Amino acid sequence: MRTDYGSVQFVGYESQHVDFLPVYQDSNYTAQDLRDKLDSMIEAAVTAESGLVPGAYFSLLVVGHADRVDIAGWTSEQKRELELTNSEKRAEDAEAYFFNEMVARLTAQGFEAPASAQLLGTVQTRRVACGSAQLFFPNPGNDEGQRRANRRVEFFGTAFSP
Amino acid sequence: MKNDLGDVPFVGFVAHEFDFPALHGRVGQMARDLLDAMIEAAIDAEADPSLGKFCYFLIVGHSDRQDSPNMTGEQRRADELEYSTLRAESAQSFVFEEIFNRMTAAGMTAPIDIANLQAVEMRTVACGAADLINKTPGNDEALRAENRRVHISCVSVTP
């Protein structure tokens, strides 16, 4: 049986920042229900990886986004490159947060945790970097609030069980 | 046990083309065979979800950069996103229809739509022109065609 955990989006990165934790902890941008939704995905992944439910499996997709780069004097190629890099790094750091949370919870429950996300047995994680292809605000100008909304990551979760 | 069935690029859409079945008919046999193996794994999982076999598809759509001088930057970005979305959606429909048709032809009860798949997950992501293979294709149509693509990846899980 497939259980779709849907998606949860974390917005509000500062310019050129890629660390997930400050955004996760920033209550100006991240409401508790978003943290709770991510928490439910992490718990489903922990359950799958622990082996407590035979046949349980969890799949995670992390999508990173950047604001548009409007630095005067830069070529469009330079702008596109920085946008892609920032979105990649955001997705990587968000995935690392998810994995580290899994490790902490597995260890706390007495299970052996894998050394890296690639070594997860019944959890699959993937990342996609979207650069600035999907802007909430296509023309943010100097509005830093709109630009921070463009800088974000999305988590998508699916659990399977027999 | 996880079985990574790979990440298969389907490359070579014509400008503003998004019909995946048309592209599928033009690509090499190897790409078609790899996709075929993914579809068969999905059918194997969906045939009896109680057996604990699962299949996860990720379909990522890409566009070439839009360089029309008659468009604003926002219009270009919107055009790039639109066609990468349409390409990913067309590929997703193709994969589902193949699953449906093959299951039906084999006498199995196929799910009526993607939402009703029990042991198969399909997600699409549209990347616009964020991730170009050829960053400055200029007027070279071959380079631009390489930028217009979808990537289909799949992981199957067996108990």
CATH number of residue B62's parent domain? 3.30.1330.60
Chain A residues lying within 8 Å of B50, measured CB to CB: 162
The reply to whether residue B131 touches residue A156, judged by beta carbons under 8 angstroms, is no
ipTM for the predicted complex: 0.95
Distance CA B60, CA B153 (A): 9
CB contact A145 to B (< 8 Å): no
Strands A57-65 and A152-160 come out as: antiparallel
Domain that holds residue B95: 2-137+145-157
* Spatial separation of the C-alpha atoms in residues B151 and B33, rounded to whole Å: 14
Task: Show the tokens assigned to B69.
Answer: 């001088």
A62 touches chain B (CB under 8 A): no
What's the confidence (pLDDT) of residue B60?
A: 98
Residue among B89, B84, B92, B87 nearest B35 (CA)? B92
Would you kindly state where each structural domain of chain A is located, as residue ranges?
Answer: 2-160
Residue A78 contacts B where some CB pair is shorter than 8 Å: no
Q: State percent of chain A over pLDDT 90.
A: 95
Mean pLDDT score of chain B: 96
Residues of A in contact with B54 (CB under 8 A): 2, 57, 160
Q: Is the pLDDT of residue B46 over 90?
A: yes
pLDDT of residue A1: 85
Does the pLDDT value for residue A21 go beyond 90? Answer: yes
Average pLDDT over residues A129-147: 97
Q: Which residues of A touch B126 (CB under 8 A)?
A: 130, 133-134
Question: What average pLDDT does the segment A144-155 reach?
Answer: 98
> Which CATH class name applies to A2-160?
alpha beta
Q: What is the mean pLDDT of residues A83-103?
A: 98
Total domains, chain B: 1
- Residue of A130, A137, A151, A155 best to disrupt the B interface, most CBs of B under 10 A: A130
Q: Mean pLDDT across the stretch B23-48?
A: 97
Q: Which of B50, B65, B123 sits opposite A156 (nearest CB)?
A: B123
Report how far residue A71's alpha carbon sits from residue A66's, in angstroms, rounded to the nearest whole number: 14
Amino acid identity of A102? Answer: M
Contact B56 A158 (CB under 8 A): yes
Query: Which structure tokens are listed for B70?
Result: 């008659």
**Interfacial B residues in 11-70 facing A (CB < 8 Å):** 49-52, 54, 56, 58, 60, 65
Whether pLDDT at A162 is above 90: no
Tell me the pLDDT tens digit for each residue of B105-123: 999 999 999 999 999 999 9
- Please choose, from the candidates B152, B88, B86, the residue with its C-alpha nearest in 3D space to the C-alpha of residue B125: B88
